[in-house]
Structure 1
Amino acid sequence: MSLVGEERKREILELINDAGKVRTNDLVSRLSVSSETIRRYLEELEEENRLKRVYGGAVKITLAHEEPPHTKREVLRAEEKKRIGCAAAGLVQDRDVIVIDDGSTSLQMIPFLIYKQQLTIITNSVSGLNMLIDYQNKELFDGDVFFVGGKIDPRHYRSSGTIAEKIMADFYVNKAFITIDGMLPAQGITSFDADRAVLARRFMQNSDASIVLTDSSKLGNGTLHKIADWNEIDMVVCEKPHPAEWKTALAADGVEWVVAE
C-alpha cells in the first residue's frame, strides 16, 4: 500500500469514527478515486478489524451486539422508514387481516392504513397499539385491533416470549409485516433478540404472505438469532435496490424486491 493509500484509509477511519458510517459514493467524491479503489480500501480495513462493510459503504465496529432502544431506533433513518412504511401499506387491501411487528419501520405503516376499510390488525407493539387506539378514538380507523400479549420489554415497547407465541398460534393472517436486524444470503434474516426472532417466525408461519421491511443499513449484516431463510420470504420492501450479487439467490428463492420510492 502506498503512502497516499494509507493516508486515504486513515481519513476514512476518521470519518467513520466521527459519523459512525461512510458511504462509498461520498468517499469517491471526497477522495477523488474510483469506486473500485474505495471498495479495496474498505476490504483492507475490514480485514484489519477497523470497520464493518455493509451495502453501500461501511459502519463503525462496535462491541455492543445488541439492539438499540426503541426511542433511538424510531429516529434513525426516519425518512427512509417512512417511505418503506408507505409502500408496505400500499400492499394492504380492504378487509385484510394483517400482523405488524414492533419494528420502527413497520410502525410507519400505521398512519397510511387508517382509511383502509374493515382491516384487522394484530400487533405486539405497545407503541403501535397506542397509535391504533388513538386513531380509533378519533374515528379515523374503523378496523379491529388485537394485541399479542406476553412478557413486556420496556426498553423496546413490545411483548415477546412464550406467552406471546402461544397467543399468536391462534391467529392466521393474510400478510405478516416483519422487520429485521440483519440480512445475508447465507444466513437469511436475523434478529438481535432470541424471543423476538421466535415470535417473528411464528408471525410468518401463520401468514399467507411474509413481507420483510428493512432499510438498506441492514443489508449485508448478520446478527445472532435466525428468523427465517430467504425461501420463507415472499417479499422485501426497502428504500434501495438489492445488491447486484444477490440477484441470483433472490430469484432462486422466489423473493420479490420492492423499492420504496
Structure 2
Amino acid sequence: MSLVGEERKSIILDMLNLEGQVKTIDLVKKLNVSSETIRRYLEEQEDENRLKRVYGGAVKINLGGEEPSYLKREVLYSEEKQRIGKAAASLVEDNDVIFIDDGTTPLQLIRFLMNKNNLTVLTMSMPALHLLIEYKNKDLFSGEIYLIGGKVNATHSRVTGSIAEKMAAMFHADKAFISIDGIVLSNGITSFDAERGQLASRVIENAKQTIVMTDSSKFGLTQLYRIADWRDIDIVISEVEAPKDWQETLEERGVVWIAAK
C-alpha cells in the first residue's frame, strides 16, 4: 500500500470516528478514486478489525455493545472526566437549580461546586447523591438536594422508570448536565438504556439550558435510544475541540463547544 493509500484509509477511519458510518459513493467523491478502490480499502480495514462493511459502505465497530457497569465506567478516562467536570462547574452560578445526570462524568462536577452558594441539585444518580450528602455534612456544599425517585438499577447505581419520569417533570432546572453514550452529527446524543434516556429527555424538556458532558470516546457512536437532537442542546463540554467537520453545523444550531483544558 502506497503512502497515499494509507492516508486515504486514515481519512476513512477519521470519518467513521465522527459519524459512525461512511458511504462508498461519498468516499469516491471525497477521495477521488474509483468505487473498486474504496471497496478494497474497506475490505482491508475490515480484515484489520477497524470497521464493519455493510451494503453501500461501512460502519464503526462498537466495541462496547452494552453499557459497562458503574464500577467499570468509573476508571475509564478518569483524567479527562475531571477536566470536563471542572469546566462544567464554571458554568454554575449561585442560586442555580441544576440537574446532575447519572454517570461518572457528571459526578466530577460535584467536586468543583464547593464555592457555589444556595444551589438546588436534582439527581437520579446514587453515587452523586452520596457524594452530595458527604459534602453537605462536611459543610463543603451549600444547597438543597433532591433525589428523583423510582425504580433502582443496582448495576448502574441509578434510578429510572415511569415514576422517576413523573417526578422529573415536576422540576424546572436552570441547567441540566447530561451524560451520554454516543454522539454523532446526524443523530444527536444517544443512550444505551432507553429508560435512562427517556428520563434525561424529560429533564431536558424542562431545563432552561442543556449541557452535554462527554469524552471523545463517544464520538461517532449511536446507541439504542435518542436522548435529544442538536436543536435541544446548548453546550457540549469535552476534553478536545469540536471535530472540524462538525463546526459549521454546530454554529448553525447555536451549540457552544467547550474544550476542557
TM-score surpassing 0.5? yes
Q: CA deviation at 1:97?
A: 0.4
Residues 234 and 61 of structure 1, relative CA distance in 2, 3 Å threshold: closer
Asked if residue 36 in structure 1 is aligned to residue 36 in structure 2, the reply is no
Per the alignment, residue 193 of structure 1 pairs with: 193
- Could you tell me how far 1:59 is from its partner in structure 2? 8.1
**Equivalence for 2:242:** 242
Q: Name structure 2 gaps, 5 residues minimum.
A: 14-40, 53-58
2:60–2:220: 8 Å Cα contact kept in structure 1?
A: no
Task: Give yes or no for contact 1:50–1:61 (8 Å, CA) kept in 2.
Answer: no
Q: What displacement does 1:256 show?
A: 0.6
Aligned partner of 2:19 in structure 1 is none
- Which residue identity does 1:39 align to in structure 2? S
Cα pair 2:60 2:221 within 8 Å, conserved? no
Q: Which amino acid aligns with 1:171?
A: F
Pair 150,49 (structure 1): closer, same or farther in 2 beyond 3 Å: farther
Residue type of the alignment partner of 1:78: S
C-alpha separation in 2, matches of 1:35 and 1:258: 32
**2:39 is the counterpart of 1:68:** no
After the TM superposition, list the runs of 4 or more consecutive aligned residues in structure 1 that deviate by more than 6 angstroms.
32-35
Structure 1 unpaired stretches of 5+: 6-31
Q: How does 1:199-238 map to 2 (within 5 A)?
A: 199-238=199-238
Q: Percent identity?
A: 47
| 1:163-201 deviation digits (Å, cap 9, x = unpaired) | 110001110110000010001111110000000110010
Q: Which residue of 2 aligns with 1:83?
A: 83
Letter in 2 for 1:51: R
Structure 1 counterpart of 2:109: 109
SS in 2 for 1:112: coil
**Residues in 2 aligned to 1:52 and 1:61: alpha-carbon distance in whole angstroms:** 9
Deviation, 1:65, is 2.1
SS at 2:104 equivalent: coil
Helix, strand or coil for the counterpart of 2:98?
Answer: strand
8 Å Cα contact 2:190/2:222 also seen in 1: yes
Q: CA deviation at 1:249?
A: 1.3
* 2:259 corresponding residue in structure 1: 259
Going from structure 1 to structure 2, the CA distance change for 1:33 and 1:139 (only over 3 Å counts) comes to farther
Distance 2:6 2:153 in 1: 43
Q: Tell me, in whole angstroms, the C-alpha distance in 2 between the residues paired with 1:34 and 1:244.
A: 22
Q: How far does residue 115 in structure 1 lie from its aligned partner after superposition? A: 2.0
The one-letter code of the counterpart of 1:102 is D
TM-score, normalisation: structure 2: 0.81
**Contact conserved, 1:51 with 1:61, CA < 8 A, in 2?**
no
Q: What is the Cα deviation at residue 41 of structure 1?
A: 7.4
SS in 2 for 1:176: strand
Change (3 A) 1:238 1:61: closer
1:50 counterpart residue number: 49
**C-alpha deviation, 1:160, in angstroms:** 0.5
AA matched with 1:239: E
Paired residues, what number? 227
Which residue in the other structure is 1:151 paired with?
A: 151
Name the aligned partner's letter for residue 230 of structure 2.
Answer: W
How far apart, CA to CA, are the structure 2 residues paired with 1:161 and 1:116? Answer: 31
C-alpha separation in 2, matches of 1:235 and 1:115: 22
1:161 corresponds to 2:132: no
Give the Cα separation in 1 of the matches to 2:11 and 2:235. Answer: 32
Q: Within 2, Cα distance between the matches of 1:139 and 1:231? A: 38
Counting only pairs closer than 5 Å after superposition, residues 112-191 of structure 1 correspond to structure 2 as 112-191=112-191
User: What amino acid maps onto 1:218 in structure 2?
Assistant: K
8 Å CA contact 1:176–1:210 kept in 2: the answer is yes
Cα distance, 1:151 vs structure 2: 0.4
The code of the aligned residue for 1:201 comes to S
2:35 matched residue in structure 1: none
The AA in structure 2 aligned to 1:152 is: V
